[in-house]
Amino acid sequence: MNSQNITCIFIKKCIPIVILLLVTSSGLRAQTFSPDNFVSTAAPKKAVTEANYGTLTKEEINQTVTYFDGLGRPIQTIAISQGASGQNIVTPMKYDGFGRQNKEYLPYPIANTTNNHPKIDPATAISDAAFFYNKKEYQYTANPFSEKEFELSPLNRVQKQAAPGTSWKMGSGNEIKIVSTASTVADAVKVYRANTSWQVGLGLYDISISEAGIYVPGALYKTITYDENSGANPSENAGSTVEFKNKEGQIILKRTYDSGNPHDTYYVYDDYGNLTYVIPPKAADLIGTTTNTTANLSSTAVLLPGNTLNLTASNSITLLPGFHAQAGSTFSAVISDGTSGILDQLCYQYKYNNRNRLVEKKLPGKQWEFIVYDKLDRPVATGPAHSPFSDINSEGWIITKYDAFSRPVYTGWNNQASTSATRKSLQDAQNAASVLYEKKQNSGTIDGIAVNYTNRVEPLVFKLLTVNYYDTYAYPNAPSTPSSIEDQPVLINAKGLATGNWTRALSSSSSTAGETGTTFYDPKARQIRTYIQNHLGGYTYSDSKIDFAGKALSTTTRHKRTSGSTELVTREEFTYSAQDRLLIHTHQINNGPVETIASNTYDDLGQLSSKEVGNSAQNINYSYNVRGWLTGINDVTSLVKLDTPKDLFAFRINYDNLNYGMTGVKALYNGNISETSWATNSDNGIVRSYGYKYDNLNRLKEGIFQKAAVTTNAYNETLSYDKNGNIMGLSRNGSNDNATAIDALVYTYANNNTANQLMKVTDSSLKNLGFTDGNNTGDDYAYDLNGNMISDANKNITAITYNHLNLPTKITFTTTGNIVYIYNATGQKLQKIVNRSGSATVVTDYMGGYQYEKIGEQPTTLKFFPTAEGYVEPLGSSYKYIYQYKDHLGNIRLSYDKSLTIQEENNYYPFGLKQEGYNTAKNSTNDALRYKYNGKELQDELGLNFYNYGARNYDPAIGRWMNIDPLAENSRRWTPYNYAYDNPVCFVDPDGRQAVYNWTGKNKGQYTDNGKVVDFNKALASYGINSESKSPKDIVVTADDGTTLFTLNDGKKEITKMTAKELYKQGTQWFEPLADNYMPLKSISKGASSNRLRHFTKGQIESFSNTDRWMSSYRSGGSGDWKASKAGANGFLLVTIEGMPYWADAVGQIPFATNKSKDEKADGNNNYNSTVSTIKAGQEYGDGSIFGGVSDFTNSYDNYMILRGALYGTENRDITKSITKDEAAKYGF
């Protein structure tokens, strides 16, 4: 029998109610709980029959009990046996006199000695929590809770938010502070207007921008947010973020300050509410500036009442003394030609058609981009796109075609001009199309490539790039379907699942080589094999053995570079604690000796406290502060130098405390790092440190270097910025461990520093170290129309060509040669070819982590492949394991073997340049050692010295990318060329597309976000893909048994399939009430059974790990789409009225409030649409009110509710049937 959740609900003064999900009452375990209201949730970890359920031990089941008070509010949660030693983990909850949860306590462990888990007295639980955290490892914290201070109004708005820890407690001045008010004249918020005019010939609204004075006082809502560094008496012009919104809730202005100087980002909307312009800070200062030129008016201009004067100038408009506008008149100024340069170089611009679809957009410094839609509002063509092929130089369009279920089935590149006129032509063809999707067929070809789809939707001529297959394994080059994998049956009927794909290897347009990928699933639709046949004829496939709960017990990977290569087999096994935490990870190659990669130990709360790596070659200890932020890797002040094993490396991070007394370095409370220090056994444990200074925008201003507690300034790095975050100056020391200045850089940008594109860097240091100033005449850099750097005179790069993903395909140097890159169509690098003048060609193959090298006519050899803690390199007929220390950013600091021989040590300036002059020993030349800063490959061939991040390439000598950020629209206040928001101490960019905060060095793919550890690699792996996979953007959501429930479309995530359980475990990433990531619900599985309509709160979902949440989580978002809503988590399935199920959104703590409801109706195709109506709620139903709630679309209900608010205790209502509208009125509807 499959694992199911079991829920026990007790309501005071009522008969206990037991609701079992597919398990009858005889399956309940023999446990005694408190007589208080509670919900107990249990999820077995092994298959068990109903009769034997009660025999499970506490190690074989995950169980949580939540207790409620008399008002139905959760007051205590006990996670049974979830401590590292099997303790219970208790989380107290506390409310103020108005019923608001003003304190959220950290969990703490208590002994677990019996099967009975009674509620702990609330006061005792709070006292116990305070006692547990009052110890050294938690900084003797007396306030183990976050706390909110509310304003004294019915709005219940938060004024202060304090975090756990003495440094952040309420009243310390280090809280987040929020002030809500209205705009004033002093705010001087400019009124920008987006003017639109319909262009019939182009099928869109053309746009222009004008300025019309400033907003009158009180016209805008103003919210001032002060971060934790702002102090007890903050000033708006220092350390605040000010947000202005209009009465429609649209953001008009975001204002930040640096040294009192405002940095304004304006958002401008058209008459239809579409975002049309975004004006970043640098542009906000330039648009509308005046000059000393005179206006084109001969003398005094008088504008009489009732008249209008419009001025248009090519550069700027100056109103001289004598201009007069009388009351009732209108004056407007449009800066057209002159401002267009500022708009094009610095601003974001958007154009829409008459259906409010975005059809053209322009990012700063990039040419206009175009989007074509089909009749179903799906994007089917985007351009311009560089040619993906080496023998075609023109631009074209990326086209996407779909099947009948709106799943992308293949993509291609269409070679025709990418202009606004071409977009209109392509759009007209789509508007006239009668065929909207492609069909599966048994055979066929497209572009000379075998494809089992039709080609009947325009355009018909294109070069094929990718193909996706679903539902079956009948497609070209698919491997045979095994009956079992690792003794697990294989799901044959894969309806609704992504089964395979083909991805072209991009070289010349005539080459049809590609990679075929296949995914096999178990009967629960969980991935158990990924198979990739590579472009050279070899393969890599991984088989996973998973347990009942879905954890990987082992993974076996088989790899061949070509079909004739010898197969390399690696096997990894994973052992877990009773709390499902990874304990032991082993690795084996070709049936050789088993290597223990890592053996983990956890503290009482489940944080990783130590890790033995390399068969105990190193014992690495981790420490954290009370907020869960990483503070140490080993101990820099007590490096183990002589014992076995000795510590090779230690690293320390300081936030709110200081240890090294560097001038100007302050304790920081907002997550910025104030100091880092490190020590290695290479030089007897000398402690080296950095102290960091930031501006009010959290940009790094200076890294001050210290050695052995003496500020030597030897490797200082100092920076200055413009308002967009472009670096304007960089000074750097560092030569043989002394304070010699090696860089004194001045940056010059296009159009007299009125753009983001760097044109020249000048070095006055007279040292040929760090940055190399190789050009003294003219500009250093040039760019193409997509904002990609195409030449670099300092590095003697004369030309760089790019593909459709703006990835470099060829870099040509003046005299030394060139570097050629080959990718697949999704951007994964397959090969690098270094042609050095006068030397043998070096070819590097990248085969999914396996890296090969061929020099001249020598045979191709395997150089290394990665492990979770480093890499493996061939050593004759055997293999050598290399282990690595990484810091909080994933920077590789130390590589060593099991004999503790250091292969290489790396230490870095804040922006990533490697420090030179100390600890320079290098005992290996393996290509794996090219992976350094952020764990990325340093491409040092021919003097290139760029780090390859995947989507972009980074130059650490100047702290900038060579391309525009593909996700620049997520960070519009910043230059699209900036690295890590100019704060590389705290942020890291995993793949070159967007920086994220505070990575830890504990495991690959982990970072902490305010103390919550998220392992992206593990999460992605559980969904059947790896962190580098590229997948369609539709997400098929299934029940645990594999039944398809519904399909979401998410333009940000690249996950194709998961269970509802997994989806809802993601919390704020998907639809938490405070999240802004709304995903359209695209389709609903026909014939979804009744038990798919349960609705639970997020807290309940986390407890009921196998519960599927359904359409009551969504509300109407326009055009009939269902969308995840901020109110969605408070929406409850209340009652069936005259046979029709209704949903109502709780509106907060106000009884008798008017609620919105949803009325579900089915059309003839069993597709469900929403209609919004308004009903009157007589009582208020709080979070956690509904338990069960099963609809079969007829008249059967089984809903039990706990009332919250003013009328609680009057009566407990049991709605068990469909009722009439008159009866519903009795309940307040």
HSE-up (13 A, CA, CB side) for residue 231: 10
| pLDDT at residue 829, as a whole number | 98
| pLDDT for 797 beyond 70 | yes
Q: Which residues contact 582 (CB under 8 A, 6 or more apart)?
A: 574, 575, 576, 598, 600
- d(CA 399, CA 404) in angstroms, rounded, equals 17
Confidence of residue 1097 (pLDDT cuts 50, 70, 90): very low
Note the pLDDT tens digit of each residue in 164-199: 999 999 999 999 999 999 999 999 999 999 999 999
Confidence of residue 1050 (pLDDT cuts 50, 70, 90): very low
More confident residue, 1213 or 468: 468
Q: Which residues contact 425 (CB under 8 A, 6 or more apart)?
A: none
More confident residue, 336 or 751: 751
In terms of domains, do 1126 and 1003 share one? no
| pLDDT at residue 504, as a whole number | 98
Using alpha carbons, select from 1166, 1161, 1183, 1170 the residue that is nearest to residue 1073.
Answer: 1183
- d(CA 1032, CA 1047) in angstroms, rounded, equals 12
Tell me if 349 is assigned to some domain.
no
| pLDDT for 1051 beyond 90 | no
Residue pair 884/863 in contact (Cβ under 8 Å)? The answer is: no
Q: Which of 149-163, 692-706, 831-845, 1125-1139 has the lowest mean pLDDT?
A: 1125-1139
Q: Which helix (H) or strand (E) holds 46?
A: none
Note the pLDDT tens digit of each residue in 722-742: 999 999 999 999 988 889 999
Tell me if 336 is assigned to some domain.
no
| pLDDT at residue 1210, as a whole number | 24
| pLDDT for 390 beyond 50 | yes
What are the φ/ψ torsions at residue 185 (nearest 5 degrees)?
-60, -35
Interval 42-65 mean pLDDT: 89
Tell me if 831 is assigned to some domain.
yes
Note the pLDDT tens digit of each residue in 871-913: 999 999 999 999 999 999 999 999 999 999 999 999 999 999 9
Contacts by 833-842, CB closer than 8 A, 24 or more apart: 834/941, 834/942, 836/941, 836/942, 842/941
Note the pLDDT tens digit of each residue in 519-554: 999 999 999 999 999 999 999 999 999 999 999 999
Q: Which of 284-298, 686-700, 882-896, 1170-1184 has the lowest mean pLDDT?
A: 1170-1184
Q: For strand 996-997 and strand 1006-1009, is the pairing parallel, antiparallel, or unpaired?
A: unpaired
Tell me if 541 is assigned to some domain.
no
Specify burial of residue 398 (Cβ count, 10 A radius: 0-12, 13-18, 19+).
Answer: buried
Q: What is the 3-state secondary structure (H, E, C) of 49-115?
A: CCCCHHHCCHHHEEEEEEEECCCCCEEEEEEECCCCCCCEEEEEEECCCCCCCCEEECCEEECCCCC
Tell me if 413 is assigned to some domain.
no
Which of 138, 160, 182 is where one domain is finished? Answer: 160
In terms of domains, do 990 and 1070 share one? no
Interval 600-613 mean pLDDT: 96
- d(CA 385, CA 572) in angstroms, rounded, equals 41
In terms of domains, do 1071 and 1003 share one? no
CA geometry: angle 794, 798, 804, nearest 5 deg: 115
Note the pLDDT tens digit of each residue in 257-315: 999 999 999 999 999 999 999 999 999 999 864 333 333 433 344 555 656 565 555 45
Residue pair 820/832 in contact (Cβ under 8 Å)? The answer is: yes
In terms of domains, do 960 and 844 share one? yes
In terms of domains, do 869 and 761 share one? yes
Residue 112 in tokens: 């677990």
More confident residue, 638 or 385: 385
More confident residue, 1037 or 407: 407
| pLDDT at residue 668, as a whole number | 98
Q: Which helix (H) or strand (E) holds 1060?
A: helix 1060-1065
Residue 198 in tokens: 């319909």
Omega prior to 956 cis, within 30 of 0: no
| pLDDT at residue 149, as a whole number | 96
- 537 beta partners: 562
DSSP state of 295: P
| pLDDT for 1114 beyond 80 | no
Residue pair 281/989 in contact (Cβ under 8 Å)? The answer is: no
In terms of domains, do 996 and 1072 share one? no
In terms of domains, do 1070 and 1003 share one? no
- d(CA 1000, CA 1008) in angstroms, rounded, equals 7
Note the pLDDT tens digit of each residue in 619-630: 999 999 999 999
In terms of domains, do 983 and 1077 share one? no
| pLDDT at residue 239, as a whole number | 85
Specify burial of residue 1216 (Cβ count, 10 A radius: 0-12, 13-18, 19+).
Answer: exposed
Residue pair 205/164 in contact (Cβ under 8 Å)? The answer is: no
Confidence of residue 647 (pLDDT cuts 50, 70, 90): very high
Which of 144, 160, 176 is where one domain is finished? Answer: 160
Confidence of residue 1174 (pLDDT cuts 50, 70, 90): very low
| pLDDT at residue 310, as a whole number | 57
- Total number of domains constituting the chain: 3
| pLDDT for 951 beyond 70 | yes
In terms of domains, do 595 and 688 share one? yes
Residue 1063 three-state SS: helix
What are the φ/ψ torsions at residue 1183 (nearest 5 degrees)?
-55, 135
Residue 657 in tokens: 């405390």
Tell me if 420 is assigned to some domain.
no
The fraction of the chain above a pLDDT of 70, given in percent, is: 74
Using alpha carbons, select from 1078, 1095, 1062 the residue that is nearest to residue 1186.
Answer: 1095
- d(CA 537, CA 527) in angstroms, rounded, equals 24
- d(CA 582, CA 599) in angstroms, rounded, equals 8
- d(CA 178, CA 158) in angstroms, rounded, equals 7
Separation of CA 361 from chain center: 23
HSE-up (13 A, CA, CB side) for residue 908: 22
The torsion defined by the Cα of 308, 311, 316 and 320, in degrees rounded to 10, comes to -60
- d(CA 442, CA 1138) in angstroms, rounded, equals 49
| pLDDT for 1131 beyond 90 | no
| pLDDT at residue 57, as a whole number | 87
Residue 732 domain boundaries = 567-766+782-1007
| pLDDT at residue 1054, as a whole number | 43
| pLDDT at residue 319, as a whole number | 63
Highest averaged pLDDT of the listed ranges 14-18, 69-73, 214-218, 642-646: 214-218
In terms of domains, do 697 and 604 share one? yes
Tell me if 364 is assigned to some domain.
no
| pLDDT at residue 1037, as a whole number | 56
Interval 446-450 mean pLDDT: 97
| pLDDT at residue 341, as a whole number | 85
| pLDDT at residue 1070, as a whole number | 31
Confidence of residue 640 (pLDDT cuts 50, 70, 90): confident
More confident residue, 682 or 1204: 682
Note the pLDDT tens digit of each residue in 90-99: 999 999 999 9
**What is the distance between the terminal CA atoms of the chain, rounded to a whole angstrom?**
42
In terms of domains, do 996 and 1099 share one? no
Note the pLDDT tens digit of each residue in 1136-1166: 334 443 333 322 222 222 233 333 333 333 3
Which of 115, 133, 160 is where one domain is finished? Answer: 160
Note the pLDDT tens digit of each residue in 64-116: 999 999 999 999 999 999 999 999 999 999 999 999 999 999 999 999 877 77
Residue 400 three-state SS: strand
Interval 858-872 mean pLDDT: 98
Interval 1175-1201 mean pLDDT: 27
Using alpha carbons, select from 529, 367, 449, 479 the residue that is nearest to residue 825.
Answer: 449
Across the chain, which distance is largest between two alpha carbons, in Å?
98
Using alpha carbons, select from 177, 1182, 294 the residue that is nearest to residue 669.
Answer: 177
More confident residue, 1194 or 515: 515
How high does pLDDT run on average in the chain? 81
In terms of domains, do 746 and 830 share one? yes
Tell me if 442 is assigned to some domain.
no
